[in-house]
Structure 1
Amino acid sequence: MTDPRLLPTVAPGRTPVRVMTVAGSDSGGGAGIQADMRTFALLGLHACVAVTAVTVQNTLGVTGVQEIEPEVVAAQMHSVVPDIGVGAVKTGMLASAPIIEAIADACDELSIGGGRTIPLVVDPVCASMHGNPLLAVDALGTLIHRMIPLADVVTPNLDEVRLITGIDVVDAATQRDAARALHDLGARWALVKGGHLRTSELSPDLLFDGTEFIALETRRIHTPHDHGAGDTLAAAICAALAHGRTVPDALEFAKGWVTRGLESAYPLGAGHGPVNPLWRVGE
């Protein structure tokens, strides 16, 4: 596995590689834009943000959501990308159909995703790890038809795979079926994450580009503190893509990064603690 520390950094005073996260805020700091920005910063990148929603949540769950006006979400993207420039973009919690439409339009206008200038990682967040909805029920179709076709790589967990494709992944064969179904929806690369496949002692991820299946397995880290794992993985993929890595190389890098974060995950509050990218600080 690639050493998860190896992304190029720049000397102090020089401008680092820039990326953008388009996602919701987690007041508990474990997931969402907080997890994305922590990952980007620790990997030596400058993070820009388009906030889609503010959640009221802690380690026990989500108790409130305040969506941002769609035109404000799109305006954040239009303000940042032409001025600062970004090497890749990652989406997370998108909340509603109007917000998704605004983001998809902005991506078209700014050459984001769809195999164009700026790579796009779509993490199709539908619910929190506690099962709290983070995507309106009537927004799933918009996510499928507007965002997934723009994705250079789409990164659902198994619950999200079931919602998007109707396929219940229980083994390697159904994982392949799901990857094909996701690719058929328009994503250039489909990643079916196996972290929730609890019957396996490994954590098996499967990547598919319409021609080739690439399987990547790591040992499963048994910890109750895995809040933000999906966000962290997608952010690390985004960071590697911004440095010009291919999607398979970016996944290998990100898998190593999140595995180290799970190894050093820590308890927090009365519920689930977060994946810990701060492992790098202590080395």
Structure 2
Amino acid sequence: MNIVLTIAGSDSGGGAGIQADLKTFQELNVFGTSVITALTAQNTLGVEGIYPATSEFVEQQLNTVLQDFEVKALKTGMLFSADIIKTIAKNLIDKNIQIVVDPVMIAKGGQALLQDEAVQAMKNELLPIATVLTPNIPEAEKITGMKIETADDIQQAAAKILQLGVNCVVMKGGHLEGPSAVDTVFFQDGSFFQLKSKRIDTKHTHGTGCTFSAAITANLGKGLSLKESVIEAKKFVQMAIENPLNIGRGHGPTNHFAHRFGANVEVEIVE
């Protein structure tokens, strides 16, 4: 059995965070373990409260899981504070585990999910040991300190991020305009490719970033290459968006089990 791990916050609405990650892991046939960094009171309309765990308890959870399970890949989501980020990095630096970092910073409703001083800790402590980073455009802007509006901007931002030490960065294009949603995947060796999919006119996108990064993690845990893991994760999340559940009165969750029903999805790979 392939075992993976999510280190993230709990979403009481079930669409993002730990809940989305574990659903994704289950759907992709890996066993999911978890470390909870914060409890949130939230639904599709927004985040009403955040109660972070102490860094000591995060460390205890992490070490307890790793002492018993052979974790092949893990992802981080909402990490909240610099202390938690530093604690996680300290405990993972000597582990042979592939690390997917989803730099969760802002909720769909606009609430901040990462303290400002934590961004620097992520850049200094976590990204140098990470396998892949999956920022959307606003997150990439926060990490790089630059405005991203064009394809050249995306390439420059990716280069800046790769200089921090991460092996691969997936620059997600969902926040840009155009008929296609284009994600560009950059590697340390200078190579890159793009994933193009139909842009869906929907407000039900809560948890898409969590789901995408969790799918990459599950695929890595099953032994797929990094490139294959990203491509298959893109297909998984595209199916989840194209077949919405239409629940909640705000930004509803994606459909984690859409692939069960043989939903076809078109994702174009541009080398």
TM bin (shorter chain): over 0.9
Which residue of 2 is the match for residue 207 of structure 1?
Answer: 185
Matched-pair contact (CA < 8 Å) for 2:108–2:251: no
Q: CA deviation at 1:282?
A: 3.9
2:134 to 155, 173, 176: 155
Distance 1:274 1:263 in 2: 12
Which residue of 2 is the match for residue 13 of structure 1?
Answer: none
Q: CA deviation at 1:18?
A: 0.7
Deviates more, 1:41-50 or 1:167-176: 167-176
1:53 to 38, 47, 54: 38
Which residue of 1 is the match for residue 58 of structure 2?
Answer: 73
Q: CA deviation at 1:118?
A: 1.1
Matched-pair contact (CA < 8 Å) for 1:35–1:232: yes
- Please show how residues 89-238 of structure 1 align to structure 2 within 5 Å: 89-109=74-94, 111=95, 117-197=96-176, 199-210=177-188, 211-238=190-217
- Indicate whether 1:263 and 2:242 are aligned: yes
Distance 1:50 1:98 in 2: 15
Distance 2:178 2:162 in 1: 24
Aligned residues: 261
Distance 2:228 2:260 in 1: 24
1:83 to 54, 63, 68: 68
Helix, strand or coil at the partner of 1:88: strand
Q: Deviations over 1:239-272 (max 9, x none)?
A: 1111111211111000000000001112222211
The structure carrying a bigger strand percent of its residues is 2
Q: CA deviation at 1:190?
A: 1.1
Q: Deviations over 1:54-88 (max 9, x none)?
A: 01111111111101110111111111113111110
Matched-pair contact (CA < 8 Å) for 2:52–2:80: yes
Q: Deviations over 1:2-40 (max 9, x none)?
A: xxxxxxxxxxxxxx2110000000010010000000000
Helix, strand or coil at the partner of 2:93: helix
1:74 counterpart letter in structure 2: E
Helix, strand or coil at the partner of 1:191: strand
Which residue of 2 is the match for residue 11 of structure 1?
Answer: none
Which stretches in structure 2 are left out of the alignment for 5+ residues?
263-271
Q: CA deviation at 1:196?
A: 1.1
Distance 1:167 1:244 in 2: 35
Matched-pair contact (CA < 8 Å) for 2:82–2:117: yes
2:198 counterpart letter in structure 1: R
Matched-pair contact (CA < 8 Å) for 1:264–1:276: yes
Matched-pair contact (CA < 8 Å) for 1:69–1:99: yes
- Indicate whether 1:33 and 2:11 are aligned: no
Distance 1:123 1:53 in 2: 16
Q: CA deviation at 1:215?
A: 1.4
Distance 1:86 1:189 in 2: 20
TM-score, normalisation: structure 2: 0.93
Which stretches in structure 1 are left out of the alignment for 5+ residues?
1-15, 112-116
Distance 1:58 1:212 in 2: 40
Matched-pair contact (CA < 8 Å) for 1:179–1:206: no
1:41 counterpart letter in structure 2: Q
1:175 counterpart letter in structure 2: I
Distance 1:106 1:157 in 2: 27
Matched-pair contact (CA < 8 Å) for 2:236–2:259: no
TM-score, normalisation: structure 1: 0.90
Deviates more, 1:119-128 or 1:134-143: 134-143
